[in-house]
Structure 1
Amino acid sequence: MEYSTVKFIHVLGVVLFLGNIIVSAVWKTQADKTGNPAIIAFACRLVNVTDLFFTAFGAALITVGGIGLFHATGIAISDAPHLTIGISLFGMAAMLWVTGLLPLQIYMSKIASKTVLSGEAHMPAAYDKCRKLWNIIGGLAVLMPLGALYFMIFR
Structure 2
Amino acid sequence: MGYEGFKLLHLLGVVLLIGNVTVTSIWKLYADRTRDVRIIRFAQRLVTITDWFFTFWGIVLLVVGGFGAAGLAGMDPLRDGWLVWSEVQFLLAGLVWLGLLVPIQIRQARLARGFEEGVPIPVEYWRLGRRWIAWGLVATVPLVGAMWSMIAKG
The normalised TM-score by structure 1 is: 0.92
Cα drift, residue 121 of structure 1: 4.0
Equivalenced residue count is 153
Give distance in 2, aligned partners of 1:150 and 1:44.
31
Q: Is the Cα contact below 8 Å between 2:31 and 2:39 reproduced in 1?
A: yes
- Structure 1 stretches of 5 or more lacking a match? none
Secondary structure in structure 1 of the residue aligned to 2:114: helix
Q: Deviations over 1:110-153 (max 9, x none)?
A: 1112113xx34431111011111111111111222111101110
Paired position in structure 1 for 2:83: 83
Paired position in structure 1 for 2:104: 104
Aligned letter for 1:152?
Answer: M
Give distance in 2, aligned partners of 1:86 and 1:40.
35
103, 122, 125: which one pairs with 1:124? 122
Give distance in 1, aligned partners of 2:24 and 2:65.
24
Structure (1/2) with the larger helix percentage:
1
Give distance in 2, aligned partners of 1:50 and 1:28.
12
Q: Is the Cα contact below 8 Å between 1:36 and 1:122 reproduced in 2?
A: no
Paired position in structure 2 for 1:152: 150
Structure 2 counterparts to residues 50-89 of structure 1, below 5 A: 50-77=50-77, 80-89=80-89
Give yes or no for the alignment of 1:4 onto 2:4. Answer: yes
Aligned letter for 1:136?
Answer: A
Q: Is the Cα contact below 8 Å between 2:4 and 2:69 reproduced in 1?
A: no
The normalised TM-score by structure 2 is: 0.93
Q: Is the Cα contact below 8 Å between 1:16 and 1:55 reproduced in 2?
A: yes
Paired position in structure 1 for 2:37: 37
Aligned letter for 1:15?
Answer: V
Cα drift, residue 76 of structure 1: 2.4
Give distance in 2, aligned partners of 1:12 and 1:71.
18
Give distance in 1, aligned partners of 2:132 and 2:83.
28
Give yes or no for the alignment of 1:19 onto 2:19. Answer: yes
